[in-house]
Amino acid sequence: MEVLNQFPIRTQLFINGVFVDPIKGGKFPSYNPATNEVITEVAAGTKEDIDVAVAAAKAALYSENWGLKSTGAQRAVILRKIGEILVERKEWFATLDSYDMGKPIREALADLGDAITACEHFANLAEEQDKHQNEVIENGTNGDFKTEILYEPLGIIGAITPWNYPLLMGIWKVIPAIAAGCCMVLKPSELAPLTCLALGDVVNAAGLPAGALNIVSGYGPDAGAPLAEHDDIDKVAFTGSIPTAKKIMLGAALGPRAISLELGGKSPLIVFDDADVDATVDWIITGILWGSGQVCSATSRVLLQKGIKDRVLARLRERLDTIKIGNSLDAELMTHQGPTMGPVVSKGQYDRILSYIDHGRTVEGLNFFYGGEDAQANLKARLGDGYFITPTVFIDVPTTSKVWNEEIFGPVLCIRDFETEEEAVRIANDTIYGLAAAVFSADLVRCDRIARNIRAGVVWKNCCQPAFVQAPWGGYKKSGFGRELGRWGLEEYTGVKQITSCASGFQWGLW
């Protein structure tokens, strides 16, 4: 833990370029989920702080050195500097993320790698946008009118981010917003706010003008709701649950203002008889145990063609037996060469996941393939007060089951078999969600056919869970709308203006 002494752990709000106490003086505890111990007390922002933060963002938007007056080249310099600072502080940020949220350090380091890549990618996109400023388009008037296109910052963004990727989800919103020249008020989850608050030091060191990024920690009703409802917010960007999204949409409708939502899913993973068993099982484990299953795209519904089912299950048990579960910052876990899993983020999440497991066992009478009461009790006895949950696998799960249909957001896998491709596609699409899906087969033509028939925003063929900053991320149906990352992510924060002029001497001639 000595690495955390390298830089201050920020607990105040970050508004207009400085760290400040909340106006009402409130605080809330941030816990280490591996031990249930309080790490620190964090500033609890309220509507009053949101008002000050939005005013700072508005001033920056209309200032002479940022926002509407800035260029893509200017923004790119700052983005690359942010990336350089993240490289220098990579181990520190990863350790703090692991400490605050519970994910294994190797996962946190992977998140930092993605964050650093995003800085360079969006710097390039900002520079590319400059090349298209004032582009003249054909308007069909044979020169009587001239129409130019101008790309501008969309305005002031209210961003509300989740706890499962504390820093990375902040980066997914902050970096493209900066690339577009927007100004932002970021409200990180109260369950893991520390790395987002530390971004204040990073953007200051990178030379981002004061007010361009403001960070207000706090509870959803006290800080998130006032942010979504604020009259000066031009767009709300949210990642989280459907119930919270509905509240945010109501707040945004008061504007009305733009909104983008990424709301998770219940993603299917389809395995055909000709798939490579060993490789497929490794991807299955990645799809459900990365982040202890607390991943919006987790492939928690697995469909096995009948001819391969027994071989996949046998290999799955072997691999699950090799997983090391424990405190993500313990030396034993950090040096373990096989799969590792840390705790879930909080007691509320812990209780919620266990309630689904208990429902599957006692109410629905589902078949345990892996996990169960004894395994969970042994884990509790070994690891104490942390929020650790043993991987749990139900097999032969009916499609009417609650645990098959509802997003559990934990290390709980549901498996059933199928016979035909048509049946697999039908079952996969029979969900309210549409974020992601995966298909495994040696027949690449079939993989491509399945990918095009699955109603999801992201489909993986013979792999599971890779995400690239160059590619769009987002879903269909109740998994939300709008896209993050790639040029599509920049477009979410960009306003497009036409400027049309009349040729000298032209007369409209309508009256």
Predicted confidence at residue 505, as pLDDT, reads: 75
Task: Give 80's DSSP letter.
Answer: H
- For residue 1, pLDDT over 90 is answered with no
- Roughly how many angstroms between the first and final C-alpha of the chain, as a whole number? 78
**Distance of alpha carbon 389 from alpha carbon 182, whole angstroms:** 41
Mean pLDDT of 25-36: 97
pTM here is 0.96
Q: Among 465, 416, 433, which residue's Cα sits nearest to residue 284?
A: 465
When pLDDT is averaged across residues 378-400 and rounded to a whole number, the result is 95
Helix (H, G, I), strand (E, B) or coil at 157: strand
Say if residue 315's pLDDT is above 80: yes
Closest by Cα among 364, 358, 363 to 392 = 358
- The DSSP H or E segment spanning 376 is helix 373-383
Q: Can you give the pLDDT at residue 195?
A: 98
pLDDT band at 329; cut points 50, 70, 90: confident
The tokens of 462 are what? 């013979």
414 is catalytic: no
261-308 confidence digits (pLDDT tens): 999 899 999 999 999 999 999 999 999 999 999 999 999 999 999 999
Q: What pLDDT was estimated at residue 511?
A: 64
CA distances from 13 to 45, 93, 198, 200 (A): 7, 18, 10, 9
Query: Cα separation of 242 and 252, whole Å?
Result: 15
Cα separations in angstroms, 225 against 16, 50, 163, 386: 21, 10, 17, 31
Per DSSP, which regions of 240-377 are E strands?
Answer: 258-262, 268-271, 301-305, 324-325, 340-341, 367-370
Q: How far is CA 323 from CA 35, 104, 336, 340, in A?
A: 20, 12, 9, 5
pLDDT at 335: 84
- Share the mean pLDDT of the chain: 96
From the candidates 296, 414, 447, 464, which is the catalytic residue?
296
* Enclosing H/E stretch for 71: none
Mean pLDDT of 184-209: 98
Q: Which of 343, 377, 291 is nearest to 37 (CA)?
A: 343
- Would you call 296 a catalytic residue per the annotation? yes
| pLDDT mean over 342-363 | 97
What Rg value do the Cα atoms of the chain yield, rounded? 24
Query: What is the tens place of the pLDDT at every residue in 82-123?
Result: 999 999 999 999 999 999 999 999 999 999 999 999 999 999
What span, in angstroms and rounded, lies between the C-alpha atoms of 470 and 452? 20
Amino acid 331: pLDDT: 82
